[in-house]
């Protein structure tokens, strides 16, 4: 597998299955790549805290802080050998806007929406942006932030997107309509540690296990008292 154009200090990743790009395959791949029906999907990799790109990027439409792995033929195109190729993508527009140059802004939430055709990110103090995966074009969605944090997973059976609140509680939101800031919906059962000595070490993680299902990984430090 090809290497990233630049190592990521604190990477985020989103995998979009092959079915999501099948209808737009001609737009998604470059002239040097050829769509493969056996391709399992596309892996997008991005920096969690990307640096501003105000200098040295004037003539570059893409950025080494946002990349994608796609499957296709090696150059020249007539070759029968196929492999995963990594290529840089255009960055969200705020990274090249002088208005935001004073600080680095963390991506607080990221999710696949639009039936697998768009990537949505919320950026601290900036707002929410959407990238069309067929054209790799970014567009602003709103100056509001998604109400969930970290990676957000869609559950088709419920028609809702699940993630965690700022207090690490499991929550859900409806992201099908983005004309205004989505709100949390429903009440969801939380995990109660069996002992008060269980201390949460880091934020919980959603682990996708396929078919619209996921499990929750939580990391605790426990104290064993000996008598």
Q: What are 10-43's pLDDT values in tens digits?
A: 999 998 886 444 444 444 444 444 445 556 678 9
Instruction: Write out pLDDT tens, residues 121-165.
Output: 999 999 999 999 989 999 999 999 999 999 999 999 999 999 999
As a whole number of angstroms, the distance between CA 34 and CA 28 comes to: 10
pLDDT surpassing 80 at residue 89:
yes
User: pLDDT at position 202, please?
Assistant: 84
Return the closest-CA partner of residue 42 out of 32, 59, 28: 28
The single-letter DSSP state of residue 22 is: G
Copy the structure tokens of residue 35: 């769509």
Q: Evaluate if residue 101 carries a pLDDT over 90.
A: no
Q: How far apart are alpha carbons 3 and 86 in whole angstroms?
A: 7
**Residue written as token pair 């768009």:** 118
Residue range 70-81: mean pLDDT, rounded: 62
Q: For the residues 190-207, what does the mean pLDDT come to?
A: 83
What was the pLDDT predicted at 26? 46
The pLDDT of 189-194, averaged and rounded, is: 80
Give the number of residues written for the chain: 227
Helix%, strand%, coil% for the chain, nearest 5 = 10, 40, 50
Rg over alpha carbons for the chain, rounded to the nearest Å, is 20
Q: Is the pTM of this model over 0.85?
A: no
Extract the tokens encoding 166: 């700022």
Assigned token pair, 141: 């969605």
What are the tokens at 43? 């892996």
């Amino acid at each position: 597998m090809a290497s990233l154009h630049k190592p990521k200090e604190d990477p985020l990743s989103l995998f979009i299955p092959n079915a999501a790009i099948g209808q737009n395959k001609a737009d998604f791949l470059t002239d040097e790549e050829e769509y493969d029906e056996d391709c399992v999907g596309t892996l997008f990799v991005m920096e969690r805290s990307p640096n501003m790109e105000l200098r040295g990027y004037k003539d570059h439409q893409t950025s080494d802080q946002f990349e994608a792995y796609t499957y296709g033929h090696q150059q020249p195109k007539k070759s029968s050998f196929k492999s995963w190729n990594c290529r840089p993508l255009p960055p969200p527009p705020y990274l090249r806007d002088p208005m935001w140059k004073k600080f680095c802004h963390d991506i607080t939430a990221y999710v696949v929406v639009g039936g697998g055709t768009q990537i949505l990110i919320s950026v601290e103090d900036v707002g929410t942006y959407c990238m069309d995966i067929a054209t790799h074009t970014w567009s602003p969605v709103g100056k509001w932030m998604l109400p969930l944090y970290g990676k957000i997973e869609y559950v088709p059976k419920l028609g809702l997107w699940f993630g965690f609140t700022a207090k690490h509680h499991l929550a859900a939101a409806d992201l099908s309509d983005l004309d205004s800031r989505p709100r949390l919906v429903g009440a969801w059962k939380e995990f109660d540690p069996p002992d008060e000595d269980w201390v949460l070490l880091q934020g919980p993680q959603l682990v996708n296990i396929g078919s619209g299902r996921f499990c929750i990984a939580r990391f605790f430090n426990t104290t064993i008292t000996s008598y």
